[in-house]
Amino acid sequence: MSAKRKNVVRFDLPVNPAFDERLARESDIDLSVCARTGPESAGWAALEGAHVYHVSAAKDELPRKWFVGAELLARSPMLLCVSSAGAGYDTVDVPACTRAGIAVVNQAGGNANSVAEHALGLMLALSRRIVECDQRLRHERGFSREDVMGHEIGGKVLGLVGIGHVGTRVATLARAFGMTVLATDPYLTEEEIGRRGAASAALEELLARADIVSLHCPRAWDTLGMIDARALQRMKQGALFVTTARGGIHDEAALFAALRSGHIGGAGLDVWDQEPPPLDHPLLKLDNVVASFHTAGVTHEARRNMAAIAAEQIVGALKGGRPPRLVNPEVWPAYAARFEAVLGLPVQPPDSE
Protein backbone atom coordinates (compact mmCIF):
# COMPACT_ATOMS: atom_id res chain seq x y z
CA MET A 1 0.00 0.00 0.00
CA SER A 2 1.45 3.35 -1.02
CA ALA A 3 1.80 5.87 1.79
CA LYS A 4 0.10 8.44 -0.44
CA ARG A 5 -3.06 6.39 -1.00
CA LYS A 6 -5.92 7.22 1.32
CA ASN A 7 -8.18 4.59 2.78
CA VAL A 8 -11.79 5.21 3.84
CA VAL A 9 -13.77 2.54 5.68
CA ARG A 10 -17.49 2.25 6.37
CA PHE A 11 -19.82 -0.56 7.32
CA ASP A 12 -22.75 -1.75 5.23
CA LEU A 13 -25.50 0.35 6.77
CA PRO A 14 -27.74 2.21 4.30
CA VAL A 15 -25.89 5.11 2.67
CA ASN A 16 -27.11 7.09 -0.31
CA PRO A 17 -25.07 6.20 -3.45
CA ALA A 18 -23.85 9.81 -3.59
CA PHE A 19 -21.27 8.95 -0.92
CA ASP A 20 -19.56 6.10 -2.74
CA GLU A 21 -19.89 7.86 -6.11
CA ARG A 22 -18.10 10.98 -4.88
CA LEU A 23 -15.21 9.04 -3.36
CA ALA A 24 -14.88 6.95 -6.52
CA ARG A 25 -14.04 10.10 -8.48
CA GLU A 26 -10.81 10.49 -6.50
CA SER A 27 -8.04 8.36 -7.98
CA ASP A 28 -6.05 8.21 -4.76
CA ILE A 29 -8.90 7.23 -2.40
CA ASP A 30 -9.88 3.61 -1.76
CA LEU A 31 -13.21 2.82 -0.09
CA SER A 32 -13.76 -0.41 1.85
CA VAL A 33 -17.30 -1.41 2.80
CA CYS A 34 -17.31 -4.00 5.59
CA ALA A 35 -20.14 -6.27 6.69
CA ARG A 36 -21.50 -5.42 10.14
CA THR A 37 -22.19 -9.05 10.87
CA GLY A 38 -19.37 -10.53 8.82
CA PRO A 39 -16.09 -11.93 10.15
CA GLU A 40 -14.60 -9.57 12.72
CA SER A 41 -11.17 -10.14 11.22
CA ALA A 42 -12.23 -8.45 7.97
CA GLY A 43 -13.49 -5.37 9.78
CA TRP A 44 -10.38 -5.07 11.93
CA ALA A 45 -8.11 -5.58 8.92
CA ALA A 46 -9.79 -2.71 7.11
CA LEU A 47 -9.70 -0.41 10.13
CA GLU A 48 -6.02 -1.13 10.78
CA GLY A 49 -5.17 0.63 7.52
CA ALA A 50 -7.95 3.22 7.55
CA HIS A 51 -7.24 6.93 7.40
CA VAL A 52 -10.93 7.84 7.67
CA TYR A 53 -13.66 5.84 9.36
CA HIS A 54 -17.17 6.92 8.26
CA VAL A 55 -19.29 5.61 11.14
CA SER A 56 -23.03 5.37 11.65
CA ALA A 57 -24.42 7.79 14.22
CA ALA A 58 -27.24 5.37 15.12
CA LYS A 59 -26.27 3.72 18.39
CA ASP A 60 -28.74 0.83 18.05
CA GLU A 61 -27.92 -0.07 14.44
CA LEU A 62 -24.16 -0.55 14.70
CA PRO A 63 -22.65 -3.40 16.76
CA ARG A 64 -20.82 -1.90 19.74
CA LYS A 65 -17.51 -3.43 18.76
CA TRP A 66 -17.47 -0.98 15.83
CA PHE A 67 -18.15 2.08 18.00
CA VAL A 68 -15.22 4.49 18.09
CA GLY A 69 -13.78 3.87 21.53
CA ALA A 70 -10.45 3.04 23.13
CA GLU A 71 -10.17 -0.46 21.65
CA LEU A 72 -10.95 0.59 18.09
CA LEU A 73 -8.56 3.54 18.28
CA ALA A 74 -5.79 1.33 19.62
CA ARG A 75 -6.28 -1.05 16.70
CA SER A 76 -6.43 1.72 14.05
CA PRO A 77 -2.96 3.30 14.14
CA MET A 78 -3.33 5.12 10.78
CA LEU A 79 -6.69 6.69 11.63
CA LEU A 80 -6.74 10.45 11.12
CA CYS A 81 -10.43 11.29 10.96
CA VAL A 82 -13.71 9.85 12.22
CA SER A 83 -16.69 10.98 10.15
CA SER A 84 -20.12 10.57 11.72
CA ALA A 85 -22.77 9.85 9.12
CA GLY A 86 -25.24 12.07 10.97
CA ALA A 87 -25.45 15.32 12.86
CA GLY A 88 -25.04 13.44 16.13
CA TYR A 89 -22.09 11.28 17.10
CA ASP A 90 -23.43 8.93 19.79
CA THR A 91 -21.15 6.14 18.55
CA VAL A 92 -17.96 8.20 18.93
CA ASP A 93 -15.89 8.85 22.06
CA VAL A 94 -14.86 12.38 21.09
CA PRO A 95 -12.46 13.01 24.03
CA ALA A 96 -10.63 9.76 23.26
CA CYS A 97 -10.26 10.83 19.63
CA THR A 98 -8.94 14.22 20.67
CA ARG A 99 -6.36 12.63 22.95
CA ALA A 100 -5.26 10.43 20.03
CA GLY A 101 -4.94 13.38 17.62
CA ILE A 102 -7.92 12.25 15.54
CA ALA A 103 -10.36 14.75 14.04
CA VAL A 104 -14.07 14.08 14.49
CA VAL A 105 -16.48 15.52 11.95
CA ASN A 106 -20.25 15.36 11.58
CA GLN A 107 -22.82 16.42 9.00
CA ALA A 108 -24.60 19.09 11.07
CA GLY A 109 -27.25 20.90 9.07
CA GLY A 110 -27.41 18.37 6.27
CA ASN A 111 -30.82 17.10 7.32
CA ALA A 112 -32.08 20.25 9.05
CA ASN A 113 -35.01 20.79 6.70
CA SER A 114 -36.24 17.23 7.11
CA VAL A 115 -35.95 17.22 10.89
CA ALA A 116 -37.65 20.61 11.18
CA GLU A 117 -40.55 19.51 8.98
CA HIS A 118 -40.95 16.36 11.09
CA ALA A 119 -40.98 18.37 14.31
CA LEU A 120 -43.74 20.60 12.91
CA GLY A 121 -45.56 17.49 11.74
CA LEU A 122 -45.53 16.07 15.25
CA MET A 123 -46.81 19.35 16.65
CA LEU A 124 -49.68 19.41 14.15
CA ALA A 125 -50.50 15.74 14.67
CA LEU A 126 -50.74 16.26 18.41
CA SER A 127 -52.55 19.59 18.36
CA ARG A 128 -55.11 18.47 15.78
CA ARG A 129 -55.29 14.88 17.13
CA ILE A 130 -54.74 13.56 13.62
CA VAL A 131 -53.35 10.14 14.55
CA GLU A 132 -55.99 9.58 17.22
CA CYS A 133 -58.75 10.42 14.74
CA ASP A 134 -57.20 8.14 12.11
CA GLN A 135 -57.08 5.18 14.48
CA ARG A 136 -60.61 5.65 15.79
CA LEU A 137 -61.99 6.07 12.28
CA ARG A 138 -60.47 2.72 11.30
CA HIS A 139 -61.85 0.82 14.30
CA GLU A 140 -64.90 2.63 15.73
CA ARG A 141 -68.25 4.13 14.82
CA GLY A 142 -70.50 6.21 17.02
CA PHE A 143 -68.04 8.89 18.05
CA SER A 144 -68.55 12.49 17.03
CA ARG A 145 -66.18 14.94 15.39
CA GLU A 146 -66.17 16.91 18.64
CA ASP A 147 -64.71 13.87 20.41
CA VAL A 148 -61.49 14.36 18.44
CA MET A 149 -61.50 18.14 18.30
CA GLY A 150 -58.06 19.66 18.59
CA HIS A 151 -56.39 23.06 18.71
CA GLU A 152 -54.69 25.34 16.21
CA ILE A 153 -50.98 25.93 16.75
CA GLY A 154 -51.27 29.50 15.47
CA GLY A 155 -50.99 31.99 18.31
CA LYS A 156 -49.37 29.46 20.64
CA VAL A 157 -45.96 29.81 22.31
CA LEU A 158 -43.28 27.40 21.09
CA GLY A 159 -40.24 26.82 23.26
CA LEU A 160 -37.12 25.52 21.51
CA VAL A 161 -34.45 23.86 23.63
CA GLY A 162 -31.52 24.44 21.28
CA ILE A 163 -31.56 26.68 18.21
CA GLY A 164 -28.83 25.37 15.95
CA HIS A 165 -29.37 24.30 12.34
CA VAL A 166 -32.64 22.47 13.04
CA GLY A 167 -33.96 24.79 15.72
CA THR A 168 -33.45 27.80 13.47
CA ARG A 169 -35.42 26.15 10.68
CA VAL A 170 -38.19 25.17 13.13
CA ALA A 171 -38.38 28.79 14.30
CA THR A 172 -38.89 29.95 10.72
CA LEU A 173 -41.66 27.42 10.07
CA ALA A 174 -43.33 28.15 13.41
CA ARG A 175 -43.45 31.88 12.75
CA ALA A 176 -45.14 31.12 9.43
CA PHE A 177 -47.91 29.48 11.48
CA GLY A 178 -48.18 32.60 13.64
CA MET A 179 -46.49 31.15 16.70
CA THR A 180 -44.44 33.08 19.24
CA VAL A 181 -41.02 31.43 19.50
CA LEU A 182 -38.80 31.28 22.59
CA ALA A 183 -35.43 29.56 22.63
CA THR A 184 -32.74 28.63 25.11
CA ASP A 185 -29.23 27.75 24.00
CA PRO A 186 -26.18 27.99 26.29
CA TYR A 187 -23.82 28.34 23.32
CA LEU A 188 -25.46 31.45 21.86
CA THR A 189 -25.89 35.04 22.95
CA GLU A 190 -29.29 36.63 23.35
CA GLU A 191 -28.57 38.67 20.21
CA GLU A 192 -27.70 35.60 18.15
CA ILE A 193 -30.82 33.78 19.30
CA GLY A 194 -32.78 36.83 18.14
CA ARG A 195 -31.09 36.71 14.75
CA ARG A 196 -32.15 33.09 14.46
CA GLY A 197 -35.80 33.99 14.93
CA ALA A 198 -36.59 33.53 18.61
CA ALA A 199 -36.72 35.46 21.86
CA SER A 200 -34.08 34.30 24.32
CA ALA A 201 -35.34 32.71 27.53
CA ALA A 202 -33.79 30.70 30.33
CA LEU A 203 -34.86 27.06 30.41
CA GLU A 204 -37.05 27.48 33.49
CA GLU A 205 -38.88 30.43 31.94
CA LEU A 206 -39.28 28.63 28.62
CA LEU A 207 -40.80 25.55 30.26
CA ALA A 208 -43.23 27.68 32.22
CA ARG A 209 -44.39 29.78 29.25
CA ALA A 210 -44.45 27.41 26.28
CA ASP A 211 -47.56 25.69 24.97
CA ILE A 212 -45.27 23.33 23.07
CA VAL A 213 -41.71 22.44 24.09
CA SER A 214 -39.53 21.01 21.31
CA LEU A 215 -36.01 19.61 21.85
CA HIS A 216 -33.24 20.38 19.34
CA CYS A 217 -30.11 20.00 21.48
CA PRO A 218 -27.30 17.43 21.23
CA ARG A 219 -26.98 14.42 23.49
CA ALA A 220 -24.09 15.33 25.81
CA TRP A 221 -23.06 15.12 29.44
CA ASP A 222 -24.93 18.32 30.24
CA THR A 223 -28.17 17.37 28.45
CA LEU A 224 -28.62 13.72 29.45
CA GLY A 225 -31.68 13.50 31.70
CA MET A 226 -32.26 17.27 31.37
CA ILE A 227 -36.01 16.87 30.86
CA ASP A 228 -36.74 14.98 34.06
CA ALA A 229 -39.77 14.86 36.34
CA ARG A 230 -38.98 18.30 37.76
CA ALA A 231 -38.64 19.88 34.32
CA LEU A 232 -41.88 18.30 33.12
CA GLN A 233 -43.66 19.58 36.21
CA ARG A 234 -42.45 23.08 35.36
CA MET A 235 -44.31 22.92 32.04
CA LYS A 236 -47.78 24.40 31.67
CA GLN A 237 -50.77 22.19 32.42
CA GLY A 238 -51.74 20.53 29.14
CA ALA A 239 -48.62 21.61 27.25
CA LEU A 240 -47.23 19.41 24.49
CA PHE A 241 -43.74 17.88 24.45
CA VAL A 242 -41.93 17.11 21.18
CA THR A 243 -38.44 15.74 20.61
CA THR A 244 -36.51 15.03 17.45
CA ALA A 245 -33.17 15.35 19.29
CA ARG A 246 -31.75 12.21 20.92
CA GLY A 247 -32.98 9.56 23.32
CA GLY A 248 -31.81 9.99 26.88
CA ILE A 249 -32.30 13.75 27.02
CA HIS A 250 -35.81 13.22 28.36
CA ASP A 251 -36.71 10.76 31.12
CA GLU A 252 -39.16 8.31 29.53
CA ALA A 253 -40.62 7.07 32.82
CA ALA A 254 -41.16 10.62 34.08
CA LEU A 255 -42.79 11.58 30.77
CA PHE A 256 -45.14 8.59 30.98
CA ALA A 257 -46.19 9.64 34.47
CA ALA A 258 -46.75 13.25 33.39
CA LEU A 259 -48.88 12.12 30.44
CA ARG A 260 -50.91 9.67 32.52
CA SER A 261 -51.62 12.32 35.12
CA GLY A 262 -52.78 14.77 32.44
CA HIS A 263 -50.20 17.38 33.35
CA ILE A 264 -48.63 16.99 29.88
CA GLY A 265 -51.27 17.03 27.17
CA GLY A 266 -49.40 14.96 24.58
CA ALA A 267 -45.99 13.97 23.31
CA GLY A 268 -44.48 13.59 19.85
CA LEU A 269 -41.48 11.28 20.14
CA ASP A 270 -39.04 10.50 17.36
CA VAL A 271 -36.15 9.38 19.60
CA TRP A 272 -35.93 6.75 22.32
CA ASP A 273 -33.58 5.28 24.91
CA GLN A 274 -33.70 2.09 22.85
CA GLU A 275 -34.43 2.32 19.13
CA PRO A 276 -36.85 1.03 18.15
CA PRO A 277 -38.57 0.92 21.54
CA PRO A 278 -39.93 -2.45 22.63
CA LEU A 279 -43.50 -3.20 21.55
CA ASP A 280 -44.66 -3.17 25.17
CA HIS A 281 -43.15 0.25 25.91
CA PRO A 282 -45.62 2.11 28.17
CA LEU A 283 -45.49 5.29 26.08
CA LEU A 284 -46.72 3.37 23.03
CA LYS A 285 -49.90 2.48 24.91
CA LEU A 286 -51.03 6.09 25.26
CA ASP A 287 -53.40 7.70 22.76
CA ASN A 288 -51.84 11.12 23.33
CA VAL A 289 -48.41 9.97 22.11
CA VAL A 290 -47.43 10.18 18.44
CA ALA A 291 -44.41 7.97 17.86
CA SER A 292 -41.86 7.63 15.09
CA PHE A 293 -38.68 5.59 14.71
CA HIS A 294 -35.90 8.22 14.64
CA THR A 295 -37.04 9.06 11.12
CA ALA A 296 -37.13 12.85 11.38
CA GLY A 297 -33.97 13.15 9.32
CA VAL A 298 -34.62 10.13 7.16
CA THR A 299 -35.96 11.42 3.87
CA HIS A 300 -34.67 10.81 0.37
CA GLU A 301 -33.56 14.43 0.15
CA ALA A 302 -31.80 14.46 3.51
CA ARG A 303 -30.07 11.14 2.98
CA ARG A 304 -28.65 12.30 -0.33
CA ASN A 305 -27.57 15.63 1.09
CA MET A 306 -25.92 14.03 4.13
CA ALA A 307 -24.05 11.53 1.96
CA ALA A 308 -22.88 14.21 -0.43
CA ILE A 309 -21.57 16.61 2.21
CA ALA A 310 -19.95 13.76 4.13
CA ALA A 311 -18.05 12.58 1.08
CA GLU A 312 -17.05 16.12 0.12
CA GLN A 313 -15.81 16.81 3.64
CA ILE A 314 -13.75 13.60 3.65
CA VAL A 315 -12.23 14.40 0.25
CA GLY A 316 -11.34 17.90 1.41
CA ALA A 317 -9.79 16.61 4.62
CA LEU A 318 -7.68 14.03 2.77
CA LYS A 319 -6.38 16.81 0.54
CA GLY A 320 -5.15 18.58 3.68
CA GLY A 321 -8.05 20.97 4.24
CA ARG A 322 -9.65 21.86 7.54
CA PRO A 323 -13.08 20.18 7.70
CA PRO A 324 -15.95 22.68 7.91
CA ARG A 325 -17.86 20.58 10.47
CA LEU A 326 -15.06 19.80 12.91
CA VAL A 327 -16.52 18.64 16.23
CA ASN A 328 -13.25 18.87 18.20
CA PRO A 329 -11.36 21.93 16.87
CA GLU A 330 -8.89 21.76 19.75
CA VAL A 331 -7.38 18.66 18.10
CA TRP A 332 -6.09 20.63 15.12
CA PRO A 333 -2.37 21.04 16.02
CA ALA A 334 -1.98 17.35 16.95
CA TYR A 335 -4.05 16.29 13.94
CA ALA A 336 -1.94 18.38 11.56
CA ALA A 337 1.26 16.78 12.85
CA ARG A 338 -0.19 13.26 12.53
CA PHE A 339 -1.60 14.02 9.06
CA GLU A 340 1.88 14.93 7.80
CA ALA A 341 3.49 11.95 9.54
CA VAL A 342 0.95 9.41 8.24
CA LEU A 343 0.36 10.69 4.70
CA GLY A 344 3.56 12.62 4.09
CA LEU A 345 1.52 15.72 3.23
CA PRO A 346 1.10 19.02 5.09
CA VAL A 347 -2.28 20.41 5.97
CA GLN A 348 -3.19 23.48 3.99
CA PRO A 349 -2.91 26.92 5.61
CA PRO A 350 -6.34 28.48 6.26
CA ASP A 351 -6.12 31.01 3.42
CA SER A 352 -5.66 28.25 0.84
CA GLU A 353 -8.75 26.29 1.81
How does DSSP classify residue 170? H
The verdict on whether 118 is a catalytic residue reads: no
The verdict on whether 64 is a catalytic residue reads: no
Catalytic residue among 246, 250, 281, 338: 246
Catalytic residue among 22, 250, 294, 303: 294
> What's the CA gap between 208 and 182, in Å, rounded?
11
Nearest by Cα to 86 from 117, 115, 55: 55
Catalytic residue among 275, 312, 322, 325: 275
CA 212 to centroid of chain Cα atoms: 20
> What's the CA gap between 127 and 265, in Å, rounded?
9
Convert 143-174 to b/e letters by CB count within 10 Å (16 or more is b).
Answer: eeeeebeeeebeebbbbbbbbbbbbbbbbebb
Cβ neighbour number for residue 38 with a 10 Å cutoff = 11
The verdict on whether 294 is a catalytic residue reads: yes
Mention every residue, 6+ apart, whose C-beta is less than 8 A from residue 143. Answer: 136
Cβ neighbour number for residue 70 with a 10 Å cutoff = 11
> What's the CA gap between 18 and 132, in Å, rounded?
38
CA 202 to centroid of chain Cα atoms: 23
- Asked if 107 and 85 count as a contact pair (C-beta separation under 8 A), the reply is yes
The catalytic residue positions are 246, 275, 294
